[in-house]
Amino acid sequence: MLRRRLLVTSLVMVLLAVFTLSVLAQETVKGKIESLDKGAKKISIAGAEYTLSDEAAKANVKVGDEVEATIEAGAVKKLTVKKVKK
């Protein structure tokens, strides 16, 4: 009984750690797109190069756009064009 309880508790702790680390690993980058190759799924934003996820590769963006990108494990997961205030 105690062994089973310890095993379940350990499993819950491991799952909690995995989900927490994935959220903490996300970051947001804001900047101008300097280069974009949707075929190769590569993008350069504010001097840093990233790979594009399938979802981000579908975004309607072009070189020169000001964007906000959600980065996870070196890959752009979400890409949003920022409205420039005039």
Q: What is the dihedral of CA 63, 38, 68, 53, to 10 degrees?
A: -170
Full set of structural domains in the chain with CATH: 2-81 (2.40.50.320)
pLDDT by residue (tens digit) across 43-83? Answer: 999 899 999 999 999 999 999 999 999 998 889 999 999 87
Give me the residues paired with residue 80 across strands: 68
pLDDT band per the 50, 70, 90 thresholds, residue 86: low
Sequence-ordered list of residues with C-beta below 8 angstroms from that of 26, at least 6 positions apart, any chain:
70, 71, 72, 77
41-64 burial, b at 16+ Cβ within 10 Å, e below that, comes to bebbbeeeebebbeebbebebeee
Percent of the chain with pLDDT over 70: 88
Structure token pair of residue 33: 């797109």
The number of beta carbons lying within 10 Å of the beta carbon of residue 69 is: 25
Q: What is the pLDDT of residue 40?
A: 92
| Maximum C-alpha span of the chain | 67
